[in-house]
Amino acid sequence: MRKSSLFPITCLLLLPLGAWSQQSATAPAISNPQPAVLGSSQPRVATPDPIIKPQTPAIPAPPIPANNTLIRRIAMIDIPGRPGFKGVAITNGCLVMAHPGASTVDVFSLAKRRVIATLKDMKGPSGIAVDEQGGRVFVANSDGQDIAVIGTKDWQLQKRIPLKSSPGALLFVPELNALYASNWRDQSISIVDLTHDAARDIVNVGGRPEDLAYDPAEKHVLASLEDVRQIAVLDPSLKLIKRIPLLASQPTGLALDPKARRLYVAVRHAVLRLDVDTGQELGRLAAPDGIDTLWLDQQSSNLFGAAVGGAVMLIKGGQGQFATAKEYDTEVRGHSLAFDPGKQMLYLPGGRDGRSKLLILRHLTAGEAATTKPEIARK
């Protein structure tokens, strides 16, 4: 009796559960109550993005503008003796090189492209100055404490002028017929008496003089004082007129543009442009580390600089310009530099692989640069 009475009740309870499970199995599942795209559309299946390998497009070489300036290597010539060069000068068709690494002064013919004379027994040859009218070259022997006088006609040693100090840089002023020497060890500058072959008017400048320049308009002698960050301005008798302080360290090379009244100074990591009359800094350019030689082409106002590691820097000047036009790694260690404006040739003596080298570069004009490939030939 109890079994028969319970069976209808159990059936009645199972019917709603079966209907509910059937409804749940057929009801659609809604994954997003607010779809991003309204309206009827086919469902999209998410697939991973394809992996696309980047391809470097071929970029054509840009055309050389008409005002581009290049430096082309012409030759690299062996020079006898161990590497190590200081002062250089061009006179009488020759490049005169102070070569302390070999204790010589080498005379290199620009036309023949070879050494035509070697003056030996030099002791620490350093600065060089030229007396064009007198046909002589002065070479400072820093270790020998004298100045060697060499004739430019036969390239023979004429005499030695003894000094009481170690000369470094030399400056010859034709209009004054005066030779100035910077004495780096005792922080002084002296006038060398060319008549009596002796030094006179030795003046302490309170710093290590590194390079000398002459201002013909004001008749001033300018000296860079490396260890005190100053430019000393003196009259022809070496009376101190003023000091120009610099916001830079280790000033060395000097180059003066007397017409534009601009003084260029090589410092540790830059080249400064100053107003030579007021001493105000008008600009500066980053430069290779160790730049300490400057050479100004008075015709074009282009400024060339050389650094200890062998880098060459070309700066466009004149007409309000002051910008780096080119930096060139010569692969020859040296910081001496001479420029021949007639042939637009640069001469850099130095060393490579333990041997003395003379590197010859050519500065291309705007027209030549426009028809020259940008690559520079390497040996």
Give the total number of structural domains in the chain. Answer: 1
Q: Is residue 219 part of a domain?
A: yes
Residue (of 360, 330, 379, 362) closest to 75 by Cα position:
360
Q: Is residue 338 part of a domain?
A: no
CATH code of residue 97: 2.130.10.10
Mean pLDDT of 251-255: 97
Angle 64-69-71 (CA atoms, 0-180°, nearest 5)? 115
Query: What pLDDT, on the 0 to 100 scale, is given for residue 215?
Result: 98
Q: Is residue 353 part of a domain?
A: no
Amino acid identity at 258: P
For 206, which DSSP code? S
CA dist 339 and 97 (Å) reads: 13
CB 69 within 8 A of CB 152: no
Mean pLDDT of 353-367: 88
Q: Is residue 316 part of a domain?
A: no
Instruction: Quick: pLDDT tens for 98-151.
Output: 999 999 999 999 999 999 999 999 999 999 999 999 999 999 999 999 999 999
Q: Is residue 230 part of a domain?
A: yes
Q: Is residue 363 part of a domain?
A: no
- Strand bridging mode 157-162 / 262-266: unpaired
Indicate the helix (H) or strand (E) that contains 124: none
367: pLDDT confidence band, cut at 50, 70 and 90? low
Q: Long-range contacts made by residues 113-117, C-beta under 8 angstroms, separation at least 24?
A: 113/75, 113/77, 113/360, 114/77, 115/79, 115/80, 116/155, 117/155
Q: Is residue 349 part of a domain?
A: no
CA dist 31 and 48 (Å) reads: 20
Q: Is residue 292 part of a domain?
A: no
Structural domain harbouring 189: 85-245
Query: What pLDDT, on the 0 to 100 scale, is given for residue 190?
Result: 96
